[in-house]
A and B are shown apart, each in its own frame.
Chain A
């Protein structure tokens, strides 16, 4: 001890060793790389989403165009078509010719050489003598069927087909010499056929095959002015307007006998009266897609709509004026795909969309009204031609100044504005069968564009604002991306999905936040550290439970169970907290010495209370159902039985409980404080119990009186309370997989996250604050509420926000337990579809790079932005809280 050894002298180098330097540099580089990498990865996700989504908002792109100044003459504008590879134009002339012309800019000679065939009957015996002039024609959608009306009042149905043959070097000798000597890549018209030499040894020969059926009798010898032809699976329907104002409808129904295989035809014919309306030039005659109605429109904008469901008793349903501007004349009217919506164009260049709706207050005989649902962006010159696409609700609109717009009818998006040229009116338009080309005819010849229409269904408005879809009574938010039929109108409104995500989050957070925060306060401030050391990891273990398991349990176990005991479940939301409060009151009533002795075992008494609350809810549930919901909650929710008051009682109870607490603390507590100082503990406890019982009674009384008051006012919690398309009624028809179930299941998934962060935040509050508060004589509860929680507020807030972020993005639970119906209803007993579940459900079925596919990416982008906004707000608020609690 007393030996004081000389300190040994170390030779100390003052430089830094290379190893240390290397480690330092390496660490710095790795950390920099990692940090930048993370930021780049997050930005990369955003950029990728944007990259996929951006094309949605673009227009059509034009790949190439061709034109020729000499086009077919005297054609019937109602019949112009293009073939699939967009090499040929197909037309009918009023002289009774069907014609083909080659769509190539550098082959002017061919356009005159028509591969024409006389419109001849398949049965020469009945063929009319000299071919009369065709005055009207109608094509029937995408197939080859055609109807023509003649000067003499006859109508004939038929098929005009392009027959294509590939010929090798051993082509029949019948081939004309010109074709054989044709240079490779050239084409000529010869011998009633169109020849293309594809290679040295390969020719393509295309002829026009025309088959016409026997004429139909219209009962009139007046020229057919307008004609429409509708083919259905069970037959066809032809409607014609003759020059003397007769509308003739002929319906042929083919019925095949299942036993004998024999087909019988039932022909019905009807004449519709138009007498009062024959003013000016008739513009349009059309039969609706289901064959249940017919419209007839005149130049002055008046439109007659007939009900032809029963051809024996056709009826004029209504007369509508299509023109808002009395100066304008109706110049074009055309069906959109599906033959339900009409696009009307007038002499002022205005475009409007009309279809039948069935409003509840309709006064017409068939319950429908024909209404203007949208105006499309037009121009200042008269509309001269409209053609509709065969696969989308897309129309090409030609104007008198030679311009041409490609417009999507539902979204109102103008995909392309094209110029036919030479300021000549567009006389006829055709769209390619695959929407990848437009053919326009004018006095200055024809012009053809090969285009890519892009994503016509989507605009920012069609995604986020209500859209008036065909058949709906008003503009709505709808998500319905696919259906069974081809003429289906995709409804890509994201609002129902955003609403679903928010609804799931709301109900999950309503259940998770109070439980998780109270649990965190309890374990950090009241629970013995040794018990906490076991409890906390157990709760954190809940987080590791795969959400698919939770979703599975919720959807297949909890949902059917809850459906059976729903009154008890609702009651449990009240009885469980009440039993805990009652437990505290009873504890206070126990003799003081006993409570001190039992204090260390208090947790076990608390654990006993939970089953007590659940059992009492289970037992009392049927009684509550009998008292409030006329004995059957499901029927009550359907609105079939009972008074609205029952639901109001449940809804108002939390509010009146809060109100009672406020009243008691405001008026009763100060009086108690003044007088209780002299009381014994037992007396104070008895008064306390009395206060609790009275408070409960007051809560119920207030809820009852409020419920009856609201019922008297005529308000019903079962709604409907529609605001901006959202039904805000809180209780409606019970669906097995609903928001309550998701609230429980997702609450269970979110609780551990909120709990862990909140508990860490509370435990991080410096102990000297606890000591100071306790040292000042505060109870642990006062310490927690007045000092610990305000100090840890930023942490608690971020705990809730992290939980919120998880709930917004959670997929599997909502996918399995929410029913996935994209409805806009706040009803807690009904399901929803969230953004995330929508991506999970539909992405596997979406065609790559289709509108649907990119819209799903849009969904992901919206989700990304939603969580980004939530997290940014959360961070901003958290920093505010943190600023308040700095310096700790």
Chain B
């Protein structure tokens, strides 16, 4: 991977200029399994640059009054899951600004894990760190470890291209390539040099069927993908992602640019993919998270706050902060 130039703007979840409500105490040492509650640990020495946000924060009132330093709450049930992806003490800086603070979590196999939280909480950053798309942005520094099936993602001798082939990614906005529907779906096979027509056709059909798009497009596979509607395009992108048989499917607010009907279909699709695919999904939509995910992670200001089964998080969160967010009191 050469130093890449893409003048991609930082994702919308990038931290604000000076996070006004950022209490330095909010950074707490995360642990994989929930430690005894209230066992507050000393915040680790932060890398340079956060002192400014500390300085600013002293003058700004707290929106969330009870945002006291608390360790992340990670539910017991998660300990028994078989994790495809392990994230350990992951920190990330955009230049001098830290966007993720010691995030530690696992993504269980065959389940849908939703990342929720207010804008700028770092959930998209976390998602994009998994397949190292953030590498493309200038001035990004990371610390910590991520492992896909026990294999490090950020080690020096990792071939990023190989790594990305093992993950599929679906973006906020549907982004089909300006080519035919067929070529879009088999793109990942094409770049691996697959030429056998039969294999390509088979993968295309299977992927489109999995993405619940086959019946709608089977007669016009050679047409431009851009002729599809927004919802169809997004399902096409999902089909493109699963055509590569990824070990994990990363979805970055896959429905945010879609109308309610298309959103519903995508949600149905996610539900149907559950079991076969491991999905890590960022969403702004509470209902969507509650409807389609198995586990929910609540993030706030770059910290993992609470991580547990969706039903628990949404009906009976352990932390007040989570409850406030879910009930719409802030966020």
**Closest chain B residue to A787, Cβ basis:** B177
Known contacts A593-B156, A772-B169; A767/B3 CB under 8 A: no
In the complex, are the beta carbons of B3 and A600 less than 8 A apart?
yes
B231 CB to closest chain A CB (Å) equals 15
Known contacts A673-B193, A790-B178; A776/B240 CB under 8 A: yes
B169 to chain A: which residues have CB within 8 Å? 771-772, 775-776
A70 to chain B: which residues have CB within 8 Å? none
CB within 8 Å: A-B pair count: 115
B65 to chain A: which residues have CB within 8 Å? none
Among A527, A530, A768, A776, the most chain B Cβ lie within 10 Å of the Cβ of: A776
Q: Which of A504-531 contact B (CB under 8 A)?
A: 524-530
In the complex, are the beta carbons of A596 and B157 less than 8 A apart?
yes
Known contacts A775-B169, A776-B191; A769/B5 CB under 8 A: no
In the complex, are the beta carbons of B61 and A1 less than 8 A apart?
yes
A527 to chain B: which residues have CB within 8 Å? 5
Stretch at the interface among B130-138, B140-148, B300-308: B130-138
Other-chain contact of A769, B161, B166, B177, B191 (Cβ < 8 Å)? B177
In the complex, are the beta carbons of A770 and B6 less than 8 A apart?
yes
A592 to chain B: which residues have CB within 8 Å? 157
Q: Which of B100-141 contact A (CB under 8 A)?
A: 131, 133, 136, 138
Q: Which of A766-790 contact B (CB under 8 A)?
A: 766-780, 782, 786-787, 790
Total count of chain A residues near the partner, CB < 8 A? 44
A528 to chain B: which residues have CB within 8 Å? 3-5
Total count of chain B residues near the partner, CB < 8 A? 43
CA distance A669 to B193 in the complex (A): 9
B165 to chain A: which residues have CB within 8 Å? 776-777
A428 CB to closest chain B CB (Å) equals 79
In the complex, are the beta carbons of A772 and B5 less than 8 A apart?
no
Known contacts A776-B240, A779-B161, A790-B179; A596/B3 CB under 8 A: no
Other-chain contact of B175, A1, A771, A780 (Cβ < 8 Å)? A771
In the complex, are the beta carbons of B168 and A776 less than 8 A apart?
yes
Task: Verify if A886 is at the interface (C-beta below 8 Å from B).
Answer: yes
Other-chain contact of B226, A768, A774, A775, A887 (Cβ < 8 Å)? A887
Task: Verify if A791 is at the interface (C-beta below 8 Å from B).
Answer: yes
In the complex, are the beta carbons of B187 and A786 less than 8 A apart?
yes
In the complex, are the beta carbons of B136 and A773 less than 8 A apart?
no
**Closest chain B residue to A785, Cβ basis:** B191
Task: Verify if A532 is at the interface (C-beta below 8 Å from B).
Answer: yes
A880 to chain B: which residues have CB within 8 Å? none
Q: Is the interface of A mostly helix, strand, loop or mixed?
A: helix
Q: Which of A733-768 contact B (CB under 8 A)?
A: 763, 766-768
CA distance A602 to B1 in the complex (A): 11
Other-chain contact of A768, B173, B187, B191, B241 (Cβ < 8 Å)? B173
In the complex, are the beta carbons of A777 and B5 less than 8 A apart?
no
A533 CB to closest chain B CB (Å) equals 10
Known contacts A528-B3, A670-B193, A786-B191; A776/B8 CB under 8 A: no
Known contacts A525-B5, A786-B190; A771/B244 CB under 8 A: no
In the complex, are the beta carbons of A777 and B193 less than 8 A apart?
no
**Closest chain B residue to A763, Cβ basis:** B7
In the complex, are the beta carbons of A777 and B195 less than 8 A apart?
no
CA distance A139 to B161 in the complex (A): 94
Task: Verify if A292 is at the interface (C-beta below 8 Å from B).
Answer: no
Other-chain contact of B131, A673, A773, A775 (Cβ < 8 Å)? A775
CA distance A782 to B187 in the complex (A): 10
Known contacts A769-B177, A773-B177; A529/B7 CB under 8 A: yes
Task: Verify if B282 is at the interface (C-beta below 8 Å from A).
Answer: no
Task: Verify if A484 is at the interface (C-beta below 8 Å from B).
Answer: no
**Closest chain B residue to A772, Cβ basis:** B175
Q: Which of B191-250 contact A (CB under 8 A)?
A: 191-193, 195, 224, 226, 237, 240-241, 244
Task: Verify if B188 is at the interface (C-beta below 8 Å from A).
Answer: yes
B188 CB to closest chain A CB (Å) equals 5
Task: Verify if A683 is at the interface (C-beta below 8 Å from B).
Answer: no
A884 to chain B: which residues have CB within 8 Å? 178, 224
In the complex, are the beta carbons of B178 and A782 less than 8 A apart?
no
In the complex, are the beta carbons of B133 and A771 less than 8 A apart?
yes
Task: Verify if B36 is at the interface (C-beta below 8 Å from A).
Answer: no
**Closest chain A residue to B189, Cβ basis:** A776
CA distance A600 to B5 in the complex (A): 12
Task: Verify if B150 is at the interface (C-beta below 8 Å from A).
Answer: no
Among B6, B156, B244, the most chain A Cβ lie within 10 Å of the Cβ of: B6
Task: Verify if A888 is at the interface (C-beta below 8 Å from B).
Answer: yes
Task: Verify if A885 is at the interface (C-beta below 8 Å from B).
Answer: yes
CA distance A885 to B177 in the complex (A): 9
A sample of 4 more A-B contacts (CB under 8 A), given A782-B191, A791-B178, is A670-B193, A772-B237, A776-B241, A777-B165
Complex A-B, nearest 9 residue pairs according to Cβ-Cβ distance, in ascending order = A777-B165, A775-B169, A777-B164, A768-B175, A529-B5, A887-B226, A778-B191, A772-B175, A885-B178
- A-B pairs with beta carbons under 8 Å apart, 13 shown: A526-B4, A528-B4, A529-B5, A596-B157, A669-B193, A670-B195, A769-B177, A771-B169, A775-B168, A776-B168, A777-B161, A777-B188, A779-B191
